[in-house]
C-alpha cells in the first residue's frame, strides 16, 4: 500500500475533496485524523473509514484559530505517535464574494482567515511534528484561479488561493533539506457542493464550462488521487509545485465575450 505506516491529517474532511481523500488514504494504509467544524459529517467520514477497515479519528477544529490547529496536530501525535502527511484542504467560497467594489470587507476577512491563514496555521504546527518524524509531505489546496484569475468574479477567493501558492513555494524552499515536501494542489472547477453553491445558476455554470477543454467539472475523487501521489513516496522529488489538475482549463483560458 502506498501510504502504509503513515499518519495523515486532513482538514475539511467532512465533505468533498477531504472526505474522498480520507477514504482513499485509508485504503492505501494511512491512519487518518479527519478535521472539520461539521461534527455530524466529520464523524460520518470517520465512521465510514473505520467500517471499511481503516483507522481514523475525528477532531473538531476551526483552522483559522491557532489553538485549534495546535490541538489537531497534538491529537494526531497523541493517538498515532507521529504526523507524516498534512493536507491543508479546508476552505470556503462565500456566495457574497464578487468584484472589488461589491465584496464586503467581512467576506474578504473571513475568506482569508480560513483559506490562507488556515493553511499557514496548519503548517505552523504541522511542520514541527514532521521534523520530529524525520520528514513528511504537506499538501495545500489552492486553485487554478490562483494562477489564472476567475471568469466569474470572486476576488477574495482568488486572492486567498494565490496566497496559498506563494506560501507553499516559500515553505518548500525553507524545509527542502529537512525531508519535508510542500506542494499546492490546484484543482480546476469541481462538481462539489462548495462550487455548485457559488455557481448557482446555469449561466454561471456554463461560463465556467466553456473554458474547460474536457467539457465537464472535475470530481472530488480525482483530486483525492492527485493528493495521494503528493502524499506518497512516489513524489519524493516533488516540492514547491503548483500541481494542476484542471481538465486543461489553464491551457485554454480565455476571457469570455
Dihedral over Cα of 206, 212, 214, 220: its sign: negative
Q: Which listed residue (58, 157, 237, 253) is catalytic?
A: 157
C-alpha cell, 140: 495545500
φ, ψ for residue 247 (rounded to 5)? Answer: 65, 15
Is 5 in contact with 235 (CB distance < 8 Å)? no
Instruction: Round to whole Å and give the CA distance between 196 and 222.
Output: 17
Give all strands of the β-sheet with 180-187 in edge-to-edge order: 55-60, 31-36, 7-11, 85-88, 136-141, 180-187, 242-245
Count Cα neighbours of 111 within 13 Å in the Cβ-side half-sphere. 24
Which of 53, 56, 51 has the alpha carbon at shortest distance from 13?
56
Determine contact, residues 226/188, Cβ cutoff 8 Å: no
Cβ atoms 33, 79 nearer than 8 A:
yes
Contact 145, 154 (CB under 8 A): yes
Q: Which three cell numbers stand for residue 192?
A: 462539489
Q: Say whether 253 is catalytic.
A: no
Q: Kindly tell me the burial class for residue 101, based on how many C-beta atoms sit within 10 Å of its own C-beta (0-12, 13-18, 19 or more).
A: exposed
Residue 124 burial class via C-beta count within 10 angstroms: exposed 0-12, middle 13-18, buried 19 and up = middle
| Residue 10 · residue 18 · CB < 8 Å | yes
Catalytic residues: 157
Amino acid at each position: 500500500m502506498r501510504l502504509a505506516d503513515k499518519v495523515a491529517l486532513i482538514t475539511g474532511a467532512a465533505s468533498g475533496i477531504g472526505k474522498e481523500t480520507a477514504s482513499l488514504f485509508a485504503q492505501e494504509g494511512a491512519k487518518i485524523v479527519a478535521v472539520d467544524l461539521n461534527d455530524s459529517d466529520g464523524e460520518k467520514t470517520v465512521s465510514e473509514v473505520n467500517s471499511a477497515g481503516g483507522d481514523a479519528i475525528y477532531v473538531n477544529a476551526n483552522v483559522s484559530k491557532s489553538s485549534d490547529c495546535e490541538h489537531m496536530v497534538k491529537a494526531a501525535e497523541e493517538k498515532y505517535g507521529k504526523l507524516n502527511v498534512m493536507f491543508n484542504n479546508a476552505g470556503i467560497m462565500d456566495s457574497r464574494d464578487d468584484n472589488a467594489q461589491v465584496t464586503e470587507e467581512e467576506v474578504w476577512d473571513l475568506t482569508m482567515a480560513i483559506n490562507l491563514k488556515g493553511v499557514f496555521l496548519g503548517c505552523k504546527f504541522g511542520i514541527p511534528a514532521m521534523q520530529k518524524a524525520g520528514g513528511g509531505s504537506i499538501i495545500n489546496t489552492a486553485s487554478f484561479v490562483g494562477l489564472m484569475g476567475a471568469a466569474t468574479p470572486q476576488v477574495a477567493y482568488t486572492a486567498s488561493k494565490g496566497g496559498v501558492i506563494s506560501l507553499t513555494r516559500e515553505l518548500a524552499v525553507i524545509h527542502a533539506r529537512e525531508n519535508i515536501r510542500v506542494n499546492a494542489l490546484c484543482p480546476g472547477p469541481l462538481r462539489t457542493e462548495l462550487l455548485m453553491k457559488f455557481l448557482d445558476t446555469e449561466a454561471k455554470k456554463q461560463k465556467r464550462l466553456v473554458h474547460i477543454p474536457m467539457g465537464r467539472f472535475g470530481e472530488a475523487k480525482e483530486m483525492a488521487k492527485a493528493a495521494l501521489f503528493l502524499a506518497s513516496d512516489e513524489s519524493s522529488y516533488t516540492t514547491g509545485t503548483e500541481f494542476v489538475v484542471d481538465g486543461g482549463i489553464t491551457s485554454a483560458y480565455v476571457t469570455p465575450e
